[in-house]
Structure 1
């Protein structure tokens, strides 16, 4: 499936473009802000080839795509076109205040992170090259590179104005103009002159606080938020004949002065106050914040709460040029996750787990943790605990040694150059030691704890051998995952399945609630309600096992899953258990559907002609296209 097709499927299954308030993406995930989360078809999304999972947390509906997320995002953005993403301020918005704040922070900061990361890495390497004597600070080359590296940070209010305007649903270019007012050379010169002479500044007779807004964070966000209320109010009262030029005029005349007189100074006070709080904590317990960040970053990432750390780190860089909160703790946490995942690669005997653990572990060390977090560490629990121990140990060390970074970069091993700065080599050396602590502790603890790979199987050795022979010979036999009476798919009381829309297959009236793997392959999709499961065979068959009709409404009651997304399985492994009595007591049918969701890839899909089957017996014969 191409990027365009995948993007269209994802957009359709989140409720269509009409249900999308805003969309951003990070390294691996599409982050939707939906009008109604209930309109999203989570089951269908998880079954899409190219989608690794779905998470609805932190005020965002997140679709995990992986490394190709940027290309899928670009296609969806084209489909959304120029539609407004203005937030609807409705009283029935059920999101809590924490979710709203996190959603706002993520929506504003995620789009600008690539610019800050690129510029931050350039600044970090410049510091390294000058320290090593490879580049003179007097050279024009250094001056130009320094200019390029500083631009994104000095003009940060412009970047934030653009993304904040999209989030708050106001005119993007008026918002950028507000940022430009705060950074205009004339205003900067007026502030510098007032500081030198001791004179005051005033606008309309009202005092203007003498403040510099270069690299600032909070003032412009508050200004654009205020703009989002003023702009529609001006539009409402402005006659339509002159609205096109008079509305922007009055909007600027209202918002810009209030920004300079009130909002900007307020934002400066809040930013400085935030820095003072962090400085106070560091003065009395400098080990505390890095310890907490290093330990709990994986949990923050899972909930989206790590985006609350980003503005704190950026604000510290803007006010003091030294971040001891977000960057160092998140860096050692990511490296500890990589160490824990790589230990799994050394420990496991399962080739599929070994391959995933190795590749995702390397990715985590480089700063991209989602593959390791969701594919290995969270799935097997013990590696996650190991990563948190490693991150906490390294976080404690960097806190005690007061290690910080001098630039905003992606938190991974390649962030180390950002630790060069005014403290010289000592800060860098301590950062390197902290990375070693994180990796070694995470690796060793994970190696000791290991992972649980044992699975229950109801098949005898002869049954397994018989099915193996059949599969190896034909390459397309799906064994029965459950015992019971076989019925035609057309007779199922669910039009989605009976019509063949999901795929061709068969249904079973189960005599037992245990569901076993019908193939050798991997788990391609699991569901929060545990009522269904998706598999992909080694011969590329994509299979959906759906227990019961409308059992998703039970919200997991009566269902127990024994597997996770991406897990390697063998024929006869226990996948899930369903309490058939719970299903019947809720007046639902327990009919279990087995369908090949990529039926179009095969020439024939022939269900068994048996009236009843036992677990492990041949159920569906799938013949590949010639």
Structure 2
């Protein structure tokens, strides 16, 4: 079982400490940090943590990919941060350093990510109801149906209030005042007044100020604009109100001014923008309905990779809430997710490596169910050809879906579990074409991935001996044909598969082997440059003169020891030759505190090379040949 508190503590440490975090949200699989300075974060250290799938930076956010356990880690981090976020936000200047595009994506993602569970709940209830009605198990005129249906509608109708809360946190204003603004836009009396005005033809007005005849249930843009405006009014009211009566004057001025401006200006502007987006999507749907689902199906993995996919998800939600369906974003996303699962499963079927097979199969099943990060980062990005295959499959499936006008009628993470959201007024026709599109995406991605994926020319279960290369007299490398990497320590060689750390044994970081050291002295295995010395001194990154990028990670999980057992003799940027001392470790202290001394020696850029041969499982001396890498 994961120790969520320990993971949280390590993540906070490696992102630069509490003082470097200005905001934090999470989605289905990721922690989404806004950091004051991304350079203070130790990406490599985070990626090596047990429980972390990967790290990506995009859309103005520093994103740590955890998987399905993300909510538990998030709760622990928020508990540890306490009120530090408020202090950091008071002096936060990080947004000013970002581009306009990054700031926009960050804002949209930060506002929509927290409310996705509510939207998903509403969408899934709607999907279940549609399924029950389609099979004639429930009558849509029955009282039970009507009650469950309005429960589902609540998440959509009161969306402005949900958005108000998350927008207030993003813009640094009072969330309860923001939700009150959402309540103003949704108040039954206002809705009745608008209906009466439309029927009678008499315009609504607040004194001499005209009020646009619009209702804001299920709307998106009006409340975001209103809360953004409110954040400035609240700050000015707080700044200029007398200290003794601030408690009364700040909320009074904030709500009165924001409420009036929202009804007269911002609400109508947002309403028009929302309808304009929907009209543009409808135009595309009528004239080139195949285009957007095909493009989304093809490029969505790249958007997920950079974390910018949440920038377009609101467009699909806006379509459902304005025109009643989404024919582009969600359907294209469905094709992409299913294709990623197909590409990963093909690798699982073809590979002979047991660890890769297990990861590829489990990640593929997760992907077809709607969560693609394990497949994307664990398999598809790692081997490249499955990524290309998933993009091809997603584009072909998206094209089919677009050509047949497939629509989804509710939100949810696109995958097999949410297919019922495609049940519409035409019975099962729309659902059938959605299923066919998903099947095409899966089949194309699976076949292309199976054909393109090539197992590396190495048998992991039988370590090759290097014969003459391991002769005691061998001291020189052969740069014309290969790269030689020598042992950095005396000890016993073991294959990566025997290392009790999934990040290393699965080869997610790179290829190589492990050494169980006999003494604490570690020397350079190559001629090259020190690329990185970790702050906790437990690991060193090197780049050899002939292009090999190496990681020497002394012990397992020793990052938690805070550098106590280590003495480092080099610094980043230093030139080293084979045999130069790098660091010394107190192996007894490591063992006494419950950690393993097993030291992975990893070539992190192996993808650019063809073969790797590893010394057999036996004792080895520092300076003897350990790895031979073919160019």
Q: Normalised by the size of structure 1, how large is the TM-score? A: 0.80
**Could you tell me which residue of structure 1 aligns to residue 465 of structure 2?**
460
Check conservation: 2:336, 2:393, Cα contact below 8 A. Answer: yes
CA displacement 1:130-164 (0-9 Å, x = unmatched): 12211112211101110111000000001100111
Q: State the Cα deviation string for residues 144-200 of structure 1 (Å, max 9, x = none).
A: 110111000000001100111111111010000000000011111111111111111
Which one of 590, 599, 624 corresponds to residue 614 of structure 1? 624
How many Å separate the matches in 2 of 1:536 and 1:211? 66
Are the counterparts in 1 of residues 56 and 64 from structure 2 also a CA contact under 8 Å? yes
2:408 is the counterpart of 1:405? yes
> Match for residue 554 of structure 2?
none
Larger deviation, residues 42-51 vs 70-79: 42-51
Partner-residue secondary structure (3-state), 1:30: strand
Corresponding residue for residue 48 of structure 1:
49
* Separation (CA, whole Å) in 2 of partners of 1:605 and 1:293: 47
| Mean Cα deviation higher: 32-41 or 451-460 | 451-460
Residue 532 of structure 2 is aligned with which of 552, 556, 563?
A: 552
- In structure 1, the residue matched to 2:210 is 207
Match in the other structure for 1:79: 80
Return closer, same or farther for 1:371/1:484 CA change in 2, 3 Å cut-off. Answer: closer
Runs of at least 5 residues in structure 1 that lack an aligned partner in the other structure: 467-480, 488-504, 507-514, 527-531, 565-582, 618-626
Counterpart CA distance in 2 for 1:555 and 1:465 is: 23
Deviation of the 1:611 alpha carbon? 7.9
Query: Could you tell me how far apart the structure 1 residues matched to 2:414 and 2:597 are?
Result: 49
Question: What's 2:127 paired with?
Answer: 124
Q: 1: CA distance between counterparts of 2:595 and 2:385?
A: 44
Tell me by how many angstroms 1:280 deviates: 1.7
Contact 1:59 1:103 in 2 (8 A): yes
Map Cα deviations across residues 15-53 of structure 1 (whole Å, 9 max, x no partner).
222211111112221110111111212232223222222
| Superposition map of 1:145-544 within 5 A | 145-455=148-458, 460=465, 482-483=485-486, 520-521=498-499
C-alpha contact 2:56 2:307 (8 A) present in aligned 1: no
For 1:533 and 1:413, the matched residues in 2 are separated by: 32
- 1:536 CA drift (Å): 9.1
1:17 match = 18
Q: Report the equivalent of 1:578.
A: none
In 2, distance between residues paired with 1:288 and 1:257?
A: 41
Aligned partner of 2:611 in structure 1 is none
CA drift of 1:379 comes to 0.7
For 2:3 and 2:341, how far apart are their aligned partners in 1?
A: 30
Whether the 8 Å CA contact 1:459–1:616 is kept in 2: the answer is: no
Q: Which residue of 2 aligns with 1:37?
A: 38
TM-score by length of structure 2 reads: 0.79
Structure 1 SS opposite 2:244? coil
Over 3 Å counting, the alpha-carbon distance change for 1:482 and 1:271 in structure 2 is: same
Q: 1:23 to 1:588 in 2, by over 3 A?
A: same
Label 1:315 to 1:222 Cα distance change in 2 as closer, same or farther (>3 A). same
- Of residues 34-43 and 140-149 in structure 1, the stretch that sits farther from structure 2 once superposed is 34-43
Q: How does 1:576-615 map onto structure 2 within 5 Å?
A: 587-589=574-576, 592=582, 599=591, 612-615=622-625
Paired residues, number? 553
1:460 CA displacement: 2.4
CA gap 1:525/1:87 in 2 versus in 1, 3 angstroms = farther
Shift of 1:584: 12
Question: How far does residue 359 in structure 1 lie from its aligned partner after superposition?
Answer: 0.3
State whether residues 194 and 213 of structure 2, in contact with CA within 8 Å, keep that contact through their aligned partners in structure 1.
yes
In structure 2, do the counterparts of structure 1 residues 593 and 293 end up closer, same or farther at CA, with 3 Å as the change threshold?
farther
Contact 2:327 2:406 in 1 (8 A): yes
Distance, in Å, in 1 between the alignment partners of 2:510 and 2:358 is: 23
State whether residues 524 and 536 of structure 1, in contact with CA within 8 Å, keep that contact through their aligned partners in structure 2.
no
Cα separation, partners in 2 of 1:588 and 1:256, compared to 1, 3 Å: farther
Change (3 A) 1:614 1:550: closer
Q: Which shifted more, 517-526 or 411-420? A: 517-526
Contact 1:19 1:35 in 2 (8 A): yes
SS in 2 for 1:22: strand
1-side partners of 2:524 and 2:266: how far apart? 55
Deviation track 1:305-352 (CA, whole Å, cap 9, x = no partner) reads: 211221100110111011012111101110011111111111111111
| 2:494–2:515 contact (8 Å) kept in structure 1 | no
Q: CA deviation at 1:459?
A: 5.9
CA deviations over 1:581-615 (Å, ceiling 9, x no partner): xx999654465559789755658859999984303
Distance apart, 1:560 and its partner CA? 4.7
**Offset of residue 558 of structure 1:** 6.0
